[in-house]
């Protein structure tokens, strides 16, 4: 055998099945040391992260593979969800030997064990991962009239000019309180549903819509009420109903780790007529918060005083948010929502998330539960605890920040092999349903605009300079070229491609609030918008892009090639992220290849496509016989 590895868990010579396994599933491991090394015994040592159980299974000698000897074993995965950490021990008849882990042979204790995710098979709604998502910051998407903020919670003011730069200067106390509003509304979103449907959108993810003192509404004031500047519960129900007519579902943002200091529950400034926890220890919400002592000192999210942290363990809070017949979770799903996105999932206890999932599975089995997790969610540690997000009883899927980081790094001059490695790590660690239900994106309300990231030469030091920064013609051309490639990968990779409102229109901006400007209706980049619409149509029309498997064809330097394969056929994505033309040869047994982006037809030579990709070029190829009289382009 020519394979140089002793053990590679991603290769079927060494491990079956690939990646994560379900509870009780049979796992086959094979270790392949060189025969010349003289090893006569091999064992795998497995340790359960959550069970704490450790066991050693000896592998049986299983014959030779060329210059290697093979040891094999089969075992059943645990009956309960867990993370298994494993390494091998190899030894000779004389007792000498070593350990083998991800770093290679070791004389001492393993430092880098392999991970085996063991998950419980539970239903995951397929509509989310197979569709196209669109994230909306509700205040900034579409307004139908200029609202009057009089009588609303918080000291709000409204921009008359829709094209203003969001307010960013600190107030006299040195804080940016996000009290400037533009007046986007739920009715405005409903009005723009044809626009969204034309791009192939099937899921709307809305940043918080509940009553709040700030424009971002992550400091919830009343979970039971739509913010009056956005509209009414009737407007929300109409949005969900009208969206459903276009095949679009709505996911809401649940901010359950903290509320606003100006909320009904805390009521620090006395806006609400009822007693909040900051006003009286007899408040029905008093045990929702931790005071040290009451009322001047209290736990707050990251120490931000306007965001008092909630005690999730409070029985009345659990009842209010999750378990009551008219709980927040149930109420808004009953009103038409298709799912929830959990803000700062790291701040929520596993049992709290599990309770939400249980209610959703029981009463709303087709609803989707998404979590905000910025790292590999399969092995995340937060607050010194390993999390169980994807083991089957909590989240259906997570926001895929590793996808964004790896893809943008590659497109900015990085090695495509590093993008492949980052994505293969997730594919190996995540249960398949979670990998194919990941929310992939290029930007969110918490990141700079992708066009600015991909185009800007510098990041100005001062906030004032960043507030007014616009890409030069050279930067804009480079950013647009890279963004087109980013969108191509986004729409053809497993998971739901998610567009942050306005990215398809060419919006620019650095960090919050500069990434949260109003959508430029009438000022969109028409070519970029057309590109996103084309990709949306292809995603909608091609089954392989919605649910096909993933196979890597090439990933090195500026060149990336991968295939999505299903019973209905396969499609191949090619990307050249270089400023230079690059040759690429791919095995291609079919008679021809059609590029779905341009309509060009290519003929193989000797069962291979020998292409030259121009700078910043992408292709989406599918097998196709040459049409009569259709020219085949030279390769």
- In terms of phi and psi (left: phi > 0; alpha: psi -120 to 50; beta: otherwise), the region of 351 is alpha
- How is residue 138 annotated by DSSP? G
Q: Which of 130, 343, 503, 595 is catalytic?
A: 343
* 343 assigned to active site: yes
Residues in the chain, how many?
635
Radius of gyration of the chain (CA): 27
- C-alpha to C-alpha distance for 78 and 49, rounded to whole angstroms: 12
- C-alpha to C-alpha distance for 125 and 574, rounded to whole angstroms: 30
State whether residue 198 is helix, strand or coil. Answer: helix
Query: Looking up tokens 């270790």, which residue turns up?
Result: 31
**Interacting residues of 343 by C-beta distance below 8 A, sequence separation 6+:** 208, 218, 253, 254, 255, 256, 257, 372
Contact predicate 296/303, CB 8 Å: no
- C-alpha to C-alpha distance for 278 and 306, rounded to whole angstroms: 12
Sign of CA dihedral 7, 8, 11, 17: positive
CA 189 to chain centroid, in Å, comes to 23
- C-alpha to C-alpha distance for 252 and 206, rounded to whole angstroms: 5
Q: Which of 82, 139, 253, 372 is catalytic?
A: 372
Contact predicate 212/258, CB 8 Å: no
- Token duo for residue 379: 């092995």
- Token duo for residue 594: 């059609």
- C-alpha to C-alpha distance for 265 and 259, rounded to whole angstroms: 8
Q: Please report which residue ranges of 524-574 form alpha helices under DSSP H.
A: 526-541, 543-547
Catalytic center residues: 343, 372
């Amino acid at each position: 055998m020519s394979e140089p590895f002793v053990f590679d868990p991603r290769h079927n010579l060494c491990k079956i099945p690939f990646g994560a396994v379900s509870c009780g599933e049979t796992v086959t491991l094979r270790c392949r040391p060189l025969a010349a090394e003289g090893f006569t015994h091999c064992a795998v040592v497995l340790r359960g992260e959550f069970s704490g159980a450790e066991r050693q299974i000896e592998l049986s000698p299983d014959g030779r593979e060329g210059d290697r000897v093979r040891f094999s074993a089969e075992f059943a995965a645990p009956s309960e969800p867990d993370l298994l950490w494993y390494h091998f021990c190899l030894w000779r008849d004389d007792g000498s030997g070593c350990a083998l882990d991800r770093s290679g042979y070791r004389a001492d204790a393993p430092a880098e064990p392999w991970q085996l995710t063991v998950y419980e098979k539970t239903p995951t709604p397929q509509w989310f991962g197979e569709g196209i998502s669109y994230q909306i910051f509700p205040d900034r998407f579409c307004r139908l009239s200029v609202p009057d903020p009089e009588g609303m919670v918080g000291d709000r003011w409204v921009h008359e000019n829709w094209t203003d730069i969001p307010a960013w200067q600190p107030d006299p106390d040195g804080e940016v309180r996000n009290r400037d509003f533009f007046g986007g509304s739920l009715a405005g979103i409903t009005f723009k549903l044809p626009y969204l449907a034309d791009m192939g959108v099937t899921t709307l993810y809305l940043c918080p819509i509940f009553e709040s003192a700030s424009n971002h509404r992550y400091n919830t004031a009343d979970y039971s009420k739509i913010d009056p500047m956005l509209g009414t519960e009737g407007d929300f129900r109409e949005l969900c109903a009208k969206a459903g007519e276009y095949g679009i579902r709505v996911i809401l943002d649940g901010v359950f780790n903290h509320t606003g200091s100006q909320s009904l529950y805390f009521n620090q400034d006395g806006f609400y007529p009822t007693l909040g926890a900051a006003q009286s220890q007899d408040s029905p919400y008093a045990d929702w918060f931790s005071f040290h002592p009451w009322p001047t000192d209290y736990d707050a999210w990251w120490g931000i005083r306007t965001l008092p942290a909630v005690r999730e363990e409070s029985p009345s809070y659990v009842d209010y948010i999750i378990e009551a017949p008219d709980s927040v979770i149930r109420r808004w799903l009953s009103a038409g929502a298709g799912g929830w996105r959990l803000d700062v999932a790291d701040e929520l206890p596993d049992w709290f998330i599990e309770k939400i999932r249980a209610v959703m599975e029981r009463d709303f089995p087709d609803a989707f539960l998404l979590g905000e997790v910025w790292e590999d969610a399969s092995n995340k540690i937060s607050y010194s605890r390993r999390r169980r997000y994807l083991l089957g009883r909590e989240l259906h899927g997570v926001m895929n920040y590793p996808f964004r980081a790896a893809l943008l790094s590659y497109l900015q001059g990085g090695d495509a092999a590093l993008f492949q490695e980052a994505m293969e790590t997730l594919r190996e660690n995540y249960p398949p349903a979670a990998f194919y239900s990941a929310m992939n994106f290029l930007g969110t309300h918490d990141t700079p605009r992708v066009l600015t990231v991909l185009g800007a030469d510098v990041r100005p030091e001062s906030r004032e300079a960043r507030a007014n920064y616009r890409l030069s013609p050279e930067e804009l051309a480079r950013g647009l070229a890279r963004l087109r490639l980013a969108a191509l990968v986004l729409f053809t990779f497993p998971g739901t491609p998610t567009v942050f409102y306005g990215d398809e229109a060419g919006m620019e901006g650095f960090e919050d609030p500069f990434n949260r400007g109003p959508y430029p209706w009438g000022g969109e980049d028409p070519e970029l918008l057309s590109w996103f619409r084309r990709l949306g149509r292809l995603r909608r029309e091609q089954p392989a892009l919605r649910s096909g498997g993933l196979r890597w064809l090439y990933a090195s330097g500026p060149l990336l090639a991968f295939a999505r394969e299903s019973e209905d056929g396969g499609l191949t994505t090619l990307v050249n992220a270089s400023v230079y033309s690059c040759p690429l040869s791919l095995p291609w047994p079919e008679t021809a290849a059609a590029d779905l982006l341009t309509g060009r037809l290519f003929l193989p030579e000797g069962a291979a496509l020998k292409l030259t990709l121009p700078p910043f070029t992408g292709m989406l190829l599918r097998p196709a016989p040459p049409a009569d009289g259709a020219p085949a382009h030279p390769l």
